[in-house]
Amino acid sequence: MPDGVHKVRSVRLVRPDDPGYLSAMAEQALAHRRFGPKEEQTATYRVSGRIELAVRGWLGERVELLEERILAAEVLFRDARSYEPLFLELDAVQGRDGVPGRIFEVKFTSNAAALRRGFAQLARARRLLASRYDRVDSAVVLVQADRGPLVIDDPRLDDVVQVAAEDLAMASLPPRALLRLDAAELAPFLEEDDVALLLTARDESDANVSARLERSAAIERGEDLPSPERRPRAGATLTFGDEAGGDDDALADSPFAALRALGSGGASSDA
C-alpha cells in the first residue's frame, strides 16, 4: 500500500472526458486561480503538451493504446474518516479490452531530476493499479529538451535500463525502463507551428542548462551564491495525486495537498 494510504477502493481507468474527472479538474483550476494571476508561460511549458500528444501518436503506431488513461480511485488516508477521490493522469496506457498492461510517462526535459519524478509517478500509479490488475509494467519516455546530451549521472538513477523501440514488443520491461526518443522521430506527429515552438523551447532549455552549469562551476569555485527562488511554474496545472515532494512521497498527502503547497510556494512543476 502506498505511504500515507490506509485503504484503496474503486480503482479504474476512465477517459479524459469522464464527467467526474472534468469536475475535479475544474475545481482544481478554480483553486489555482485564487493563488494569483498567471505569469507568461514559457515555450518549454507550452510545447510539452504537444510533445506528449506526439509521443502518443508515435506509440499508437507500435502498440495498442487505450483511450482510458485517467487513473481514478477512492483512497482512505491514515487518520482520515472518509474516502477521498484521487485522479492521476497517465500520459499513455497500453492495453487491450480496457485492461492496462503498460503505462508511460512522457518527460520533455533537460533535467535528470524530472526523470526521478517520472519514475516516482509511475511507481505510484503501478501500486494503485496492482490492487485491481494482475501485471502492469511501465516506462519513462524521454524527449530531450535541449540540444546537448543529457548525462544521467544521478546515483538514484543507476538502476535505470534504457530500452529501444523494438523492446516495446517484449512481454514485460525492466522495472525502471527508459525509452529515449529524438524530436526528429516525432516530426510526423507535429504541426508546423509545433516545430517552431519546439525550436524556441530548445533555445530556452539550452540557456537554462548553461545557467545551471555556470552556477555549478561558481559553487565549485567557492563563490557564495543566493539560493534560487523556487515558485510554481507559470500556468502549471497539477494533477490530483501528484507529489509535492521527493521520490519517496508517493501518495503521502491528500489529493488536494499539492494545491495547498502550491498556494504557500511549497511545490513546483517541471516538464
Phi/psi of residue 141, each to 5°?
A: -105, 115
Whole-angstrom Cα distance, residue 49 to residue 21?
Answer: 18
> Could you write out the DSSP letters of every residue in 121-170?
HHHHHHHHHTTT-S--EEEEEEEESSSS------GGGTT-EEE-GGGGGS
Calculated CA dihedral for residues 13, 17, 23, 25, nearest 10 degrees: 80
pLDDT of residue 192: 93
Sign of CA dihedral 191, 144, 47, 136: positive
Going by the DSSP 8-state scheme, the letter that residue 187 receives in this structure is: G
Quote the percentage of the chain above a pLDDT of 90: 54
Whole-angstrom Cα distance, residue 194 to residue 181?
Answer: 17
Whole-angstrom Cα distance, residue 268 to residue 230?
Answer: 7
Q: Find residue 192's DSSP bridge partners.
A: none
pTM of the predicted protein model: 0.80
pLDDT in tens, 55-91: 999 999 999 999 999 999 999 988 888 999 999 999 9
Quote the percentage of the chain above a pLDDT of 70: 79
CB atoms within 10 A of CB 186: 20
Half-sphere exposure (Cβ direction) of 255: Cα atoms closer than 13 Å: 20
Residue 240, pLDDT > 90, answer: no
Pick from 232, 235, 255: nearest CA to 243: 255
Q: Kindly indicate the confidence band of residue 249, based on its pLDDT and cuts at 50, 70 and 90.
A: very low
How many Å is the maximal CA-CA distance in the chain? Answer: 59
pLDDT of residue 259: 35
The C-alpha cell that represents 39 in the structure block: 505569469
pLDDT in tens, 153-205: 889 999 999 999 999 999 999 999 999 999 899 999 999 999 999 999 989 98
Phi/psi of residue 212, each to 5°?
A: -65, -40
Residues of 98-123 as b/e, b for ≥16 C-beta within 10 angstroms?
Answer: eebbbbbbbbbbbbbebbbbbbbbbb
The domain segmentation of the chain, as residue ranges, is: 5-222+229-263
Pick from 100, 105, 130: nearest CA to 120: 105
